[in-house]
Amino acid sequence: MLIVVLHGPNLNLLGSRQPDLYGTTTLIGLNTELKHLANELGIQLRTEQHNSEGALIDAVHAAASADAILINPAAYTHTSIALRDALLAIDKPTWSVHLTEPKNREVFRHTDLIEDLCIGRTAGLGVASYTQALRKLVIWLQMRAKKPHL
């Protein structure tokens, strides 16, 4: 089982960008934690981070061969119809993740353009949002393997 983790814009600055909001774990630290969890769960994991919308869309297209996508589109959550269209085009199980809860922040962050395309969403738990989301996504994929109609 291969899951592709896609980190959106500014997540390369984790650990130094607004640590009071996003915590002090770096992206390298987060990816290391996710890879350890993937080993524990017996799955393959590929992680990527892209600041530009086009590169993130290209990464979604490249993930078409994966079993699922775990994505934090960051600000593109609220603005990118192109990202939404890319996810629709490849039609892979997708789980969205956010370090904070966007719906508890500024009003412009309340719009989520991919939420209805995702099989699940985890937000507001800091780095634990990612680990919880990965665990839930793996469980969903395992259940689907047993019941293909999901």
Q: How many CA atoms lie within 13 A of 126 on its CB side?
A: 12
Paired with 55 in beta bridges are: none
- Give the separation between CA 118 and CA 93, rounded to whole angstroms: 7
Annotated active-site positions, please?
22, 98
Tokens of 65: 């061969």
State the alpha helices, DSSP H only, in the chain: 19-22, 27-41, 53-62, 81-90, 127-146
Exposure string of 12-47, with b = 16+ CB inside 10 Å and e = fewer, is bebeeeeeeebbebeeeebbebbeebbeebebebeb
